[in-house]
Structure 1
């Protein structure tokens, strides 16, 4: 993959950057780290470290639920949490502490002052950390607030920045459109997680079109070994936060249809937690399927992996929510394919790039409980189809979603020189 140079990139380095032969030293700007639901970030960081890239995590918030995946213990990167100012005096304190490290502060102060207070303080602290640590590049996961902080911090530090755009940060109706356009336009590279997203972002921001590239979220395939052995009979599993875009209400409706067929019993396990849980439990009771559905809550990755690997079929009935929010390409769907659990999903955003209908799984229209029930029943009743989809799914994941291979593609992103000056917002 060859990435285009930023249109204003110089031939040398600037700010905290180092010479072109050095490995990049990259600061990852994240909303919250670690975050239980964002295993793709941890996977990427671990793969970058394995490839020899030095990373530093700059988190805008402290973790808030106390649950961590075991693989977090393998990460060597330092994690810094930025200040969340509670009063004006703390803002002045931050400004005084970072000013000696930021010779470009006066030049870029208008950009800082244009931000909400929390983002402005975060940008100052991230920029100072970049200078002190000798970081050569900043990279933000999500194109909204983390990218805004990274954009302004990079200008203050005199280095480049890039971002990875996912789904809720580009599709949601309530986004700050002005900030999003600035974040996309000024990034040295816009990474995104599917070809669907590449097309969407190029149309959304034509000025950044030649810098939008696809790097799939990847898996450490050594942690997700293919399982060809016996599985629990007639068991469907679904994994994700209990939020509207996951379409779990459609899965419950499909389960009720399967129960009414009167065939062999079907058991459904839903792994995850979220605001929709009371409504989903109420729906299961109303459909009289509480004896067929188990709400497992959120599970650590190793336990979740066992649940998915032991299931007959994996269901990802994703939908576009009423506020425009939708999934990009769920990591857990890739995990199911890697483990050899055949999948039934919907053609939302990038999902058809992994679940190829009739090849690596089945696709059904979003929101269609009847079609979902029929596809699930077809796989539950056909060991031959399950075996064929499982083998093809594993082959596709090995080809396109190996995190170590995909992480190497990010080296070119992180090696793009910083622009001479910030592009006006």
Structure 2
């Protein structure tokens, strides 16, 4: 029996070429474009990747970039009965050898389905030559990746985002325990890094790697940003766009209030396009009708990435009035904000979590207090009334994205953090 005190995470296979197993709750997922962008960028650097999806996709919509992913996808079987875990343990033992008693106790301490999937990933990873596992989100995917790595004698890492850190149901101790066994922990903002340190994660395990963009796909328009167009009455019309799931943390209810204030209090011919779907769809449509905005607010529903890109590029401003939800849920650093910055569309947002690391007030965008519809309306009107300011902010935002959020550099950072991985930054210089 393997020594129960041994920690495979400290003994990487230094002499073996790295093959990375991505452990994801669901792949592909329409809202998680950042995962696809990351995998594509790592593959472009020569990374050898296999994807383990714990759930089959349920959304028939897919982004076109998926077609370029080379990594094979393995959908991990799910057990339906607790007693099936014993069969999974027997099968894993035949492939992996005896498991340490301490690990068996940990497998029995989690949900039987999660434990069985961890064993299935361990066996599949061993058979396919995977040497390192990486999970996105510190919740289910990392639970499975951690146990699979310990069972197979592999190293693992995970990326911590937002809901997996800040939701009221998150167990900080569980996150810290997962980090303690990990080779390293990636997180997407300095705000998140501070939080991880506060809950007991060691500084030397934390790697700050911002989500990146394929900047070739997000080129700014020559007239960066588009000038506000003339409305029929001679006033300058303002086209505002908001993109994201229609849930509380996106703050779109406050955006509707701001548009109403623009039209009634500021006399601005403002219109709004909301891109996305979600649990608040009906409530937000009702709110728009209550405010008398039915004719000037367009709800598009979810759109494929190329179409989102077109809508954001054509708008005068992107509004991301994010808030901390009643359940503690908050955005990390929404990808659409980075996309708007790359496209040359000025941004107005709030200082929730890591947003201030991209949208710096009066340098790369405008920042207002969360839940402040009046302040949001004033910021939107300021960009309408001062096209020179809008263009200056947009140009600075594009420069920042090029410096800090290029997916090629993000991929090189991720590769460099692997056990015994060579530094690849020069490959993208």
Could you tell me which of 238, 244, 247 is aligned with 1:240? Answer: 244
Deviation at 1:144, TM superposition (A): 1.1
Judge conservation of contact 1:160–1:416 (CA < 8 Å) in 2. Answer: no
Judge conservation of contact 1:203–1:209 (CA < 8 Å) in 2. Answer: no
Cα distance between partner residues in 2 of 1:126 and 1:274: 32
Runs of 4+ aligned structure 1 residues displaced above 4 Å come to 7-10
Judge conservation of contact 1:316–1:346 (CA < 8 Å) in 2. Answer: yes
Query: How do 1:15-414 residues align onto structure 2 when only pairs under 5 Å count?
Result: 17=13, 19=15, 22=17, 24-88=18-82, 90-107=84-101, 108-206=103-201, 208-229=202-223, 230=226, 233=229, 234-261=238-265, 263-414=267-418
Three-state SS of the structure 2 residue aligned to 1:294 is strand
Q: Per the alignment, do residues 8 and 83 of structure 1 end up closer, same or farther by CA in structure 2, a change over 3 Å counting?
A: closer
Deviation at 1:414, TM superposition (A): 2.1
- In the alignment, structure 1 segments of 5+ residues that lack a partner are 1-6, 418-425
Cα distance between partner residues in 1 of 2:416 and 2:97: 28
Three-state SS of the structure 2 residue aligned to 1:336 is helix
CA deviation map 1:284-319 (0-9, x unaligned): 111111111111100000000000000000000000
- In the alignment, structure 2 segments of 5+ residues that lack a partner are 1-6, 230-237, 422-429
Deviation at 1:61, TM superposition (A): 0.5
Q: Which deviates further from its counterpart, 386-395 or 222-231?
A: 222-231
Judge conservation of contact 1:188–1:211 (CA < 8 Å) in 2. Answer: yes
Three-state SS of the structure 1 residue aligned to 2:417 is helix
Q: Per the alignment, do residues 87 and 312 of structure 1 end up closer, same or farther by CA in structure 2, a change over 3 Å counting?
A: same
Judge conservation of contact 2:9–2:155 (CA < 8 Å) in 1. Answer: no
Cα distance between partner residues in 1 of 2:285 and 2:191: 33
Judge conservation of contact 1:342–1:390 (CA < 8 Å) in 2. Answer: yes
Deviation at 1:411, TM superposition (A): 1.5
Higher relative contact order (CA 8 A, sep 6+): 1
Cα distance between partner residues in 2 of 1:321 and 1:97: 43
CA deviation map 1:87-116 (0-9, x unaligned): 346444433433322125244222211111
Judge conservation of contact 1:316–1:333 (CA < 8 Å) in 2. Answer: yes
Judge conservation of contact 1:185–1:205 (CA < 8 Å) in 2. Answer: no
Three-state SS of the structure 2 residue aligned to 1:105 is coil
CA deviation map 1:182-236 (0-9, x unaligned): 1122111111000111111111124x23211200000010010111334663100
Deviation at 1:83, TM superposition (A): 1.5
Cα distance between partner residues in 2 of 1:316 and 1:131: 43
Cα distance between partner residues in 2 of 1:216 and 1:325: 19
Cα distance between partner residues in 2 of 1:322 and 1:186: 32
Per the normalisation by structure 1, the TM-score is: 0.91
Per the normalisation by structure 2, the TM-score is: 0.90
